[in-house]
Structure 1
Amino acid sequence: MPIRPTAAIAALFLGFQALAADAPPKTPAAVVAQAPASAWQAIAPDALLVMTVESGRRIVIQLAPRFAPAHVANIRALAKAGWWDGKSVYRVQDNYVAQWGDPTEKLPLPAGIAADIKADYAQPLAALGQSVVPLPYPDAYAPRTGFADGWPVAMDEASIWLPHCYGMVGVARNLSPDAGTGAELYAVIGQAPRQLDRNIALIGRVIEGMGLLASLPRGSGEMGFYASGEKPLPIMSARLASDLPEAERPYYQVMDVGSQSFADYLRLRANRKDDFYDRPAGGVDLCNAPVPVRARP
């Protein structure tokens, strides 16, 4: 016959449930899932570039105007002019980048686009006006690293810049002193090519559709360009979310890097010990601790 728990046992069981509910999360994913609303910040609609590709699939890029103001200004103007409509993703190099725009580089740019743009590769550290959450582990490419304004950052004593992590979006360019206009963009789809830091302008990161870009067929031409007979991915449109009808806008939030939730997340990325991990790493690479981003609930 079934055994009925006594009131004391039932109370003890409920107590264990309460303790489990109050237990700290054991994994980075659990931290993100349990983060309160106060740990999230809205991403402004004019900082979201919404790119619709073949079959109605969507790629959303969060722009970083504080780190690459001149290039982001161009990108916003290009989006408003519909310049990427009818262009394509024409280069996919394995373990490196997926690139889109005009492969001929001969089509005229819209009026008002700055063609001779300065190198937006780093910004004065003092001008950022944001406290930096430090990452206290050695980095092979910068004296210091951390997080600021919702972004991973690398720094020296005077400057701050974005790193070439997986999913970051940069401005394709020709040889220096050319710094590109922003008409030709790429997303990092492989191991972080940090050697490009401060050599190319980074303007943001892919926050939706990264799986699509990373899984595209690799181009067989030199440097991953699609050869004759290989089909580039058509771009139907690219617009700022702020220019879309409200019902069509994506809404995203980024975790506040100054929040307790982010501190817990970062601690577990570096020192994870749970049902799967037996040995904590004791450290984490800047590119292996992406700042969490989520669609607005």
Structure 2
Amino acid sequence: MKRNLSLFASAAMSAAFPVAAQEAKTYPAPSEIVASAKAGEWVAIAPSDMMVMDLAPDSKGKPRRLVIQLIPEPFSQGWIGNIRKLATAKWWDGTSINRVQDNYVVQWGDATEKKALPEGLAVVPESEYVAVSEIRGGTDWMDNALASFHAEFPEFGRKFPETLKHLPKAQSELSRAFRKTFRTDQYAEANMMIEGWPIALDMKKYKWPTHCYGMVGVGRNLSPDTGSGAELYPVIGHAPRHLDRNIALVGRVIEGIEHMSGLPHGTGALGFYEKEEERVPILSVRLGNETKDVPAFEYLSTDSDSFAAYADARANRRDPFFNVPAGGADICNIPVPVRRKIR
């Protein structure tokens, strides 16, 4: 009898405390979600779509290498063509890093501005800062996914989060990852991840890549000059989104950004180095398929379930360190995971 009473008391106590109080739910950190992503959710980056930059060794003789992934169609392809020609011609060999501006960019190219460019470089118009996105009847996957939505909610723009709640799943081709990454934007009507890249949208016509940390842009002079691609820079500070649609973005650093962000800041205007000895020599720049020892890289598909969970975790940190989930994230605060390919 005493044993039965003991069991009854234990059951009563359990009923008095909710399950949630007994076992608090734990949430994985973004890094844990990425680590547990399935092999099939990773997308290989072709060596021909990478550019490898070797700088002169640091003060301790340690090699310094950066790997840059070039942005795919339909974005910035005029400049990409020029960059491929410059790399194949070995044009950057012997040039230097000339500018390091705090919380902004690192810029490289020919400091003398006298080195002859290879023949056949394209002059790219300013219209190529954006890509046309034919929402109605377009052919790429994003356009098709949005077509029925835009027809029913023609003025959704910044109201996307609210109107999405009322769109029946049966009418929508939007993936879970699309719903998790598509959001409103202070610099555009909306933004989302498209095939691994952070993209802003004018829902009626255009889409363009965004100036997030590590993104690589083309230096230029005043409009209508758009730059040839010979002067390049990666973002090393808070995302300068005001540059979107004003400068071409051609890729992102996927490995070795510390060799840029850790350089001494230039003391001249806009962070330019004032003395020749301050400049960091560039030994070589080659396309990935022209480099023997470049590792294989892959990125987490932004249309995968794991990326959807990762994006949600970045916007709503619930892992033990955080007390208050933010409830949202800027597109640049959801960096696409890139790793060396696991063999």
Give the TM-score range, shorter chain.
0.7 to 0.9
Could you tell me how far apart the structure 2 residues matched to 1:200 and 1:162 are? 10
Q: CA offset at residue 113 of structure 1? A: 1.6
Which residue number in structure 2 is paired with residue 5 of structure 1? none
Q: 2:227 corresponds to which letter in structure 1?
A: G
Note the 1:17-32 alignment, pairs <5 A. 26-32=28-34
Alignment length, in residue pairs? 272
CA distance in structure 2 between the partners assigned to 1:128 and 1:252 by the alignment: 28
SS at match of 2:184: coil
Amino acid at match of 1:49: M
The AA in structure 2 aligned to 1:111 is E
> Is this contact kept in 1: 2:27–2:319, CA < 8 A?
no
Rg bigger for which structure?
2
3-state SS, counterpart of residue 189 of structure 1: coil
1:149 maps to what in 2? Answer: 195
Counterpart pick for 1:205 among 243, 252, 267: 252
CA displacement 1:234-278 (0-9 Å, x = unmatched): 110000011122xx1221101111100000001101111121011
What whole-Å deviation, never above 9, does each CA across 1:164-183 have from its counterpart, x for those lacking one?
Answer: 11111000000111100000
Within the alignment, does 1:271 sit opposite 2:316 as a pair? yes
Q: Does 1:259 align with 2:304?
A: yes
Q: Which residue of 1 aligns with 2:95?
A: 87
Hey, what's the Cα distance between the residues in 2 that align with 1:137 and 1:154? 10
* TM-score, normalised via structure 1 length: 0.88
Separation in 1 of the partners of 2:324 and 2:27?
A: 17
Contact 1:172–1:185 (Cα < 8 Å) also in 2: yes
Write the distance in 2 (CA, Å) between the matches of 1:168 and 1:81: 23
| Structure number with higher helix proportion | 2
5+ residue gaps, structure 2, are 1-24, 58-62, 146-177
- Report the alpha carbon displacement of residue 112 of structure 1 after superposing the two structures with TM: 1.8
1:97 corresponds to 2:105: yes
Aligned-partner SS, 2:129? coil
Q: Is the 8 A contact 2:183 2:192 kept in 1?
A: no
Could you tell me how far apart the structure 1 residues matched to 2:273 and 2:38 are?
Answer: 45
> Which residue, out of 107, 116, 123, partners 2:115?
107
Q: How does 1:147-296 map to 2 (within 5 A)?
A: 147-157=193-203, 158-228=205-275, 230-245=277-292, 248-296=293-341
1:39 matched to which residue of 2?
41
2:80 corresponds to which residue?
Answer: 72
Deviations 1:112-167 (A, max 9, x none): 222x2223311011367133725344311010100001101100021110001111
- Report SS of the residue matched to 1:143: strand
TM-score normalized by the length of structure 2: 0.76
Alpha-carbon distance between aligned partners in 2 of 1:77 and 1:229, rounded to the nearest angstrom:
27
Q: For 1:152, give the aligned amino acid.
A: P
Alignment partners' CA distance in 2, 1:212 and 1:36: 31
CA spacing shift, 1:33–1:81, aligned 2, 3 Å: same
AA paired with 2:254? I
* Whole-Å separation in 2 of the counterparts to 1:43 and 1:24: 34
- Percent identity over the alignment is 50
- Residues 6-55 of structure 1: CA deviation (Å, up to 9, x unaligned): xxxxxxxxxxxxxxxxx986110001111111110000111100001112
Contact 2:215 2:235 in 1 (8 A): yes
Note the residue ranges of structure 1 that are not aligned, 5 or more in a row. Answer: 1-22
**Alpha-carbon RMSD:** 1.6
The amino acid that maps onto 2:330 is D
Determine helix, strand or coil for the equivalent of 2:192.
Answer: strand
Question: Matches of 1:50 and 1:128 in 2, distance apart?
Answer: 33
SS of 1:179's equivalent? Answer: coil
Matched residue SS, 1:30 = helix
Q: Distance in 1 between matches of 2:328 and 2:27?
A: 19
Structure 2 residue aligned with 1:129: 140
How far does the alpha carbon of each residue in 1:39-93 deviate from its partner, in whole angstroms, 9 at most, with x for none? Answer: 1000011110000111231001100031111100110111000000011111001
Identify if the C-alpha distance between structure 1 residues 128 and 257 changes in structure 2 by more than 3 Å, giving closer, same or farther. Answer: farther
